[in-house]
Amino acid sequence: MDKQAKGTKKDRAAVKADEVTVDLIAFVVAVNENEPCVLTIGQADTLPSGPFALEHRSLQSGLRGWVEQQTGHPLGYIEQLYTFADRDRIGSGRRQRAISISYLALTRKEQAASSPKCGWRSWYEYFPWEDHRSGTPPIELDVLRPRLIEWADGAGDAATRRERRQRTATAFGFDGRHWNEELALQRYELIYEAGLVQEAGSARDATRPSLVPSKSMVADHRRIVATGIARLRSKIKYRPVVFELMPQSFTLLQLQRTVEALAGRLINKPNFRRLIEQQELVEETGEISVDTGGRPARLYRFRHAVLDETPIVGTKLPVARG
């Protein structure tokens, strides 16, 4: 009887040690002065987050509550991004199995005021290699490329060396390949695997390479941001979510600059405007903007009726090559 009681007590202790905790994490995006910005707390290294509790009516209501409590910022458009439940997730420091459910949230510039509780930072501070609007960034050519090649060539066998080189070339567009803006997560995971970011500290050994200059985040929050960037860059091509980031009225140039900021690359202006018109995504407001730094420009607004007329619509990113 005593042995059975001891066994039961031991089993309960094991269950408690292995219990699952669920965290809700928000990747909140706004575009300010042509820069895609992420809402952060702490030392601009943490995404708003909090545990899912029994009193929360739903996952989304729990997330909204935590974000408003920590930042004072109410959320509008949100969608579930990804669930992170890897057994070896970094930064938890706990014996419990930590599951993080991340969400993508979009807000407008006029609603994106900073407060003492939080701040907005360009996501290119965390991912400087992702901004190709002025061409291939020097950090990619002068820092990342040689260090990734060194990492690839340092593999112990020829097959792994070839596999690493191919993954690197595909992700970053090396060796004459096309740079795909949607591969933001694959690029970050390669850099992490190579031990080139601060977050990979626990995975690096004593011979670790020097880090790539970029702002780090706690735990795996930068991985969550990379996931969100990849999702948003893909989604703007088939759903009109970019208008969740636009003011009520805007010029076509403002719309183009917003899409370019998200995509990290330039867009062919005539093709972009033609596609916007063909898809009837916007309509004129009848007003003119003189705050353009040049000639007055017509103001437009999103045509909400398009959501009822077609199930799939987006900006289709007519990217300027070369």
- What is d(CA 149, CA 239) in angstroms, rounded to the nearest whole number? 37
Q: In angstroms, rounded to a whole number, what is the distance separating the alpha carbons of residues 61 and 102?
A: 13
Going by CATH, does the domain composed of 245-307 fall within 3.40.50.300? Answer: no
Return the number of other C-beta atoms located less than 10 Å from residue 68's C-beta.
Answer: 13
The closest of 135, 132, 129, 130 to 147, measured between CA atoms, is: 129
Q: So what CATH class is 19-123? A: alpha beta
CA contacts within 13 A on the Cβ side of 34 = 10
CA distance 170 to 168: 5
At 199 the pLDDT is 93
Which residues of 128-270 form beta strands (DSSP E)?
none
> Along the 322 residues of the chain, how does pLDDT read in single tens digits?
454 444 444 444 443 445 788 999 999 999 999 999 999 999 999 999 999 988 889 999 999 999 999 999 989 999 999 998 866 555 445 556 788 999 999 998 777 666 777 999 999 999 999 999 999 999 999 999 999 999 999 999 999 999 999 999 999 999 999 999 999 999 999 999 999 999 998 544 545 568 999 999 999 999 999 999 999 999 999 899 999 999 999 999 999 999 999 999 999 999 999 988 888 899 999 999 877 667 889 999 999 888 877 655 555 555 544 3
- E strand map for 44-89: 49-51, 77-84
Per-residue pLDDT, 321: 45
pLDDT digits (tens, 9 = 90+) for 211-226: 999 999 999 999 999 9
In Å, the largest CA–CA distance within the chain is 89
Structure tokens at 318: 């007519």
Place of tokens 């860059």: 233
- What's the pLDDT at 20? 80
Q: What pLDDT shows up at residue 278? A: 87
Angle, helices 252-263 vs 221-235, to 10°: value is 130
Is there a shared CATH topology between the 19-123 domain and the 245-307 domain?
no
- pLDDT digit string (tens) for 149-207? 999 999 999 999 999 999 999 999 999 999 999 999 999 999 999 999 999 985 445 45
**Where are the chain's structural domains?**
19-123, 131-212, 245-307
pLDDT at res. 279: 86
What residues are paired with 297 via a beta bridge? 289
